[in-house]
Structure 1
Amino acid sequence: MIEFTDDWMMHKSILGEGAYGEVKLIVNKHTNEKIACKIINYGKHDDVEVSINKEVIIHRMLNHDNIIKYFGRRKEPLREYIYLEYASRGELFQMIEPDVGMSSCLAQTYMKQLLTGLQYLHNLGIVHRDIKPENLLINDEGALKISDFGMATLFRCKGKERLLDRKCGTKPYCAPEIFVKPYKAQPADIWSCGIVLIAMLTGELPWADTTCEEFINYKNDSYITVTPWSKLGNATLSLIRKILAIDPNKRLTIDQIMKHPWMKFNFEDQKSDVVDGSNPHLVKRWNSMLEAETRIHRTNPNVTLSQPTPAVRPTSIDQLVTDLRTNREVVCFSQPTHNDDMLLSSQLHFNETPLTRESFNNLVKRMTRFYVTTNYEKTLEVLCSVLDTFHYNWQTDSTGAVTISTVDLMKNQLVFKTNVIEIQGKILVDFRLSKGCGIEFKKKFKKLRECLDDIVEKDE
């Protein structure tokens, strides 16, 4: 941690990154109050100030339990700090098991909270335009919070609505109409919610964009026997199919979604009845409702780790360790990563305090980290060898942070970072998404963890 102001300490670790900056945690030394601080570097992009001002103007209007709260801003000549509510459980994608998803009960809860927050926005005449698991945060109480209003805009003013024509968003979550013509705001956001629901229930996305074969098959009703659709029961399919209506005029509204049988079904109560078998009528109703909603037990998914792949350790790894020990500026391997969305860390220089488990646990509780049994140098050596085995492009800086660049199964760029951190004599390996799809990132993390299984500390 570094001293930010007289009463506040800033964690050096990054909570997340966006198009114009990075987010860090600030903790009050006296009250232990925590807030997130979005650090914007004005020297990185030409249009950054205009975009940030628009985002702030919209965000400061908002006050709802399912929307991240805006607290204020502080501007400097080349940098700006935006203070936001801190959500300790991080992005929604952290809760989604790749290829598995989560329980129907939890997915329903998050879907209701997402729609409630979105309805509040729409009632104010605001459209988000980038609804996806990476922009949905979970706080310490488990409540979902909509965040990141960088693509938000007004679509209604003084009762008069306008069509939108800006093609923006994240392709797998974008409604098809936004690429072909001026579009209505609300149905576009609702389409994105339907994709999020699929991701929560199945742990995968149905298509990369609206030009690929998978989407064409969906339009032609030739999709039901393949994943993710084959993992869903009839009740769920009924809802999702109506949310993902190709014609935006036929798409369900938020009120209609909330009234759908799947959204009103009490999964929590019926689940307990099924477990004790005391009510056969409800058991029958439960089975009829779900109809093999998934072939995998999503409530408590079992992750089986295979034996690690033998790592081919190149001679350059030894040089990496040597360079880090001598604290050289930058060490690069393979092809260098070019990531326009990454900003340099804050150049604040203060006296640092030692990192402890207690202070580290203040950070977002990610499921993409683990302790290892090896020392710092050996951990870095094994990690980088595994990255070479997967033919990932990667580079590391003088602190040992590794930036990894690859593509996902949908051929979209995927960038994530790994930090090897020493905490009170133990080594923690922490993976964090930097750019791309959160679900695809977790798939890559899972495979990397399998290959590192020999050094993962099992008791943790």
Structure 2
Amino acid sequence: MTDFVDGWILGHTLGEGAYGEVKLVINKATEEAVAMKMVDLSKHPDARRTVRKETTIHRMLSNPNIIQYFGQRSEKNMEYIFLEYASGGELFDKIEPDIGMPKWEAQKYFRQLISAVEYLHSRGVAHRDLKPENLLLDENDNLKVSDFGLATVYRLQGKERSLDTRCGTLPYVAPEVLERPYQAEPADIWSSGIILVALLAGELPWDQASAECPEYEAWKNGKYMSVTPWKKLDKFSLSLIKHILVHEPSRRFKISEIKKHAWFRDNFSEDGNPIERDVVDGLRAKRFHKDEEEVLMRTCLSQPELPGKETNGLSTFTIEERPGFSFSQPAHMEDLLLSTQLQTLAYTQTQTQTSLSTFQKMVRRMTRFFVKTECDTTVKRLISCLKKESYTYRINECGIITISSMDRRKMPLVFKINIHEMDGKILVDFRLSKGCGLEFKRRFLKIKEKVDDIIARDSSNHRQVS
């Protein structure tokens, strides 16, 4: 870790995306933390407009289930966006591949997701890239929607427009988005329904919602009950999903209807049986201040789809061309962080190390483990495993192993292995760079199984490690 500005330390990478990295930034005195998204404009000259649009939208939002925006700093060739740090990690990390999670837990996260989406729509904002990789968890295990890089304003001052940008991540994209134009709200609701399937079944139902996909055609024609993931789900769960994943947007459940459905309304106990409890209400939207409306009108409606490729007069964004950033604890510190005169703090080396060790333990993720072997031996075992699995990999000068592969859908899957010493032990930390989170989790579990003999049993549990 290195000093970023006086009194602040630049920590490890939290996530990556097409335009740069997201880093952890820690205050040495208070141990408060934020996520800092770094965009290198010299490498990505088209990113400036995207950043401007993303921050314009994000600063208008304030909801407990949406990552909080603190501010930004601009330099000659760099843009820094400061966001709430979600110390609970990514939601996809809690989904067991091909299994999912308990129904009561899926219900909890789905309720929070719907609350966030309802709030966004009340503000006239469409997210357009909802997926587990863009859903984070705070220290209290509450869901936080992140990554507004593809978000847009579709309703302002009572006027609503249709959208025509083909964007998102294919398995989560509504069928009408592939054809265009489309309405914003049903498209986000569709993506939420796919997320619910992933939570309950641990897999995605299809590669894309189009006639070219046999799995989707079977679903659309009602010939799906004997195949996975549907045969894993009980009739109660399916009764809600069948109302959300409806091909025609006009017939698809609205959020108000989702919230009235018994699966959403009645709480589940840990044994999977419903128990009575009040329905979870969405949050009422705040009104825009007049000058905020004017800013959004100029930024979003004059530049409705950024960045894009012109195709037949339409601005389009290639599906999966832009991998989502993973932002990952509340720190109400925008005035401190964005101040040009941050106070210099006199801290001893010992105190600083203690502080940083605390933060290294904060991020809770399952895709990491301690090992009993030394660093060199650990690297050799991992490389041997990667060779046997015919992975393409490379090691950089910092010792980070980058693995490139293809997932089940023949889409790129890239993840990294960081090996470093922490509290006198060797930590092996896997992190997704690009691709499907569930597929990444499958690969991690397979690699972990092959190096099982070197894992330190007393600390391999992710809740202890993290």
Deviates more, 1:379-388 or 1:418-427: 418-427
Residue 116 of structure 2 is aligned to residue 105 of structure 1: no
> Scaled by the length of structure 2, what TM-score is found?
0.80
Assess if the C-alpha contact under 8 Å between 1:236 and 1:262 holds in 2.
Answer: yes
The alpha carbon displacement at 1:357 in A equals: 4.2
* Correspondence for 1:221: 222
The alpha carbon displacement at 1:225 in A equals: 1.0
* Correspondence for 1:79: 78
Say which SS state the counterpart of residue 4 (structure 1) adopts.
strand
For 2:118, the aligned partner's letter is Q
* Correspondence for 2:9: 9
* Correspondence for 1:257: 258
Note the alpha carbon deviations across 1:66-120, whole angstroms, 9 max, x for none.
1110000011111111110010011110111111111111111111111111111
* Correspondence for 1:182: 181
Assess if the C-alpha contact under 8 Å between 1:151 and 1:169 holds in 2.
Answer: yes
The alpha carbon displacement at 1:401 in A equals: 0.2
* Correspondence for 1:406: 405
Say which SS state the counterpart of residue 256 (structure 2) adopts.
helix
Assess if the C-alpha contact under 8 Å between 1:38 and 1:83 holds in 2.
Answer: yes
* Correspondence for 2:89: 90
Say which SS state the counterpart of residue 115 (structure 1) adopts.
helix
Q: Hey, what's the Cα distance between the residues in 2 that align with 1:224 and 1:43? A: 51
Assess if the C-alpha contact under 8 Å between 2:17 and 2:322 holds in 1.
Answer: no
Assess if the C-alpha contact under 8 Å between 1:20 and 1:341 holds in 2.
Answer: no
The alpha carbon displacement at 1:218 in A equals: 1.2
Structure 2 unpaired stretches of 5+: 276-320, 326-347, 460-466
Cα distance, 1:38–1:229 mapped onto 2, change above 3 Å = same
Note the alpha carbon deviations across 1:361-395, whole angstroms, 9 max, x for none.
13x21110001111111100010110111111111
5 Å-filtered alignment, 1:233-312, equals 233-268=234-269, 271=270
Say which SS state the counterpart of residue 164 (structure 1) adopts.
coil
Q: Hey, what's the Cα distance between the residues in 2 that align with 1:398 and 1:54? A: 36
Q: Which runs of 4+ in 1 moved over 4 A?
A: 339-343, 351-357
> Scaled by the length of structure 1, what TM-score is found?
0.81
Say which SS state the counterpart of residue 81 (structure 1) adopts.
strand
For 2:235, the aligned partner's letter is N
* Correspondence for 2:141: 142
Alignment RMSD (CA, Å): 2.0
Assess if the C-alpha contact under 8 Å between 2:207 and 2:409 holds in 1.
Answer: yes
Q: Hey, what's the Cα distance between the residues in 1 that align with 2:20 and 2:402? A: 16
For 2:258, the aligned partner's letter is I
Q: Hey, what's the Cα distance between the residues in 1 that align with 2:21 and 2:225? A: 40
* Correspondence for 1:191: 190
Q: Hey, what's the Cα distance between the residues in 1 that align with 2:428 and 2:259? A: 41
* Correspondence for 1:416: 415
Structure 1 unpaired stretches of 5+: 275-282, 287-338, 344-350
Assess if the C-alpha contact under 8 Å between 1:25 and 1:36 holds in 2.
Answer: yes
Assess if the C-alpha contact under 8 Å between 1:21 and 1:342 holds in 2.
Answer: no
The alpha carbon displacement at 1:48 in A equals: 0.6
Cα distance, 1:265–1:101 mapped onto 2, change above 3 Å = same
Q: Hey, what's the Cα distance between the residues in 1 that align with 2:268 and 2:403? A: 40
* Correspondence for 1:132: 131
Q: Hey, what's the Cα distance between the residues in 1 that align with 2:397 and 2:238? A: 50
The alpha carbon displacement at 1:359 in A equals: 3.8
Cα distance, 1:357–1:236 mapped onto 2, change above 3 Å = same
Q: Hey, what's the Cα distance between the residues in 2 that align with 1:427 and 1:342? A: 29
* Correspondence for 1:58: 57
Q: Hey, what's the Cα distance between the residues in 1 that align with 2:240 and 2:59? A: 33
Matched pairs, number = 387
Assess if the C-alpha contact under 8 Å between 1:101 and 1:201 holds in 2.
Answer: yes
Note the alpha carbon deviations across 1:242-278, whole angstroms, 9 max, x for none.
100000000000111011011112213xx47x9xxxx
Cα distance, 1:86–1:413 mapped onto 2, change above 3 Å = same
Higher relative contact order (CA 8 A, sep 6+): 2
Name the % identity.
Answer: 50
The alpha carbon displacement at 1:216 in A equals: 1.6
* Correspondence for 1:382: 381
Note the alpha carbon deviations across 1:280-322, whole angstroms, 9 max, x for none.
xxx7x78xxxxxxxxxxxxxxxxxxxxxxxxxxxxxxxxxxxx
Say which SS state the counterpart of residue 459 (structure 1) adopts.
helix
Cα distance, 1:393–1:340 mapped onto 2, change above 3 Å = farther
The alpha carbon displacement at 1:342 in A equals: 11
Q: Hey, what's the Cα distance between the residues in 1 that align with 2:44 and 2:323? A: 10
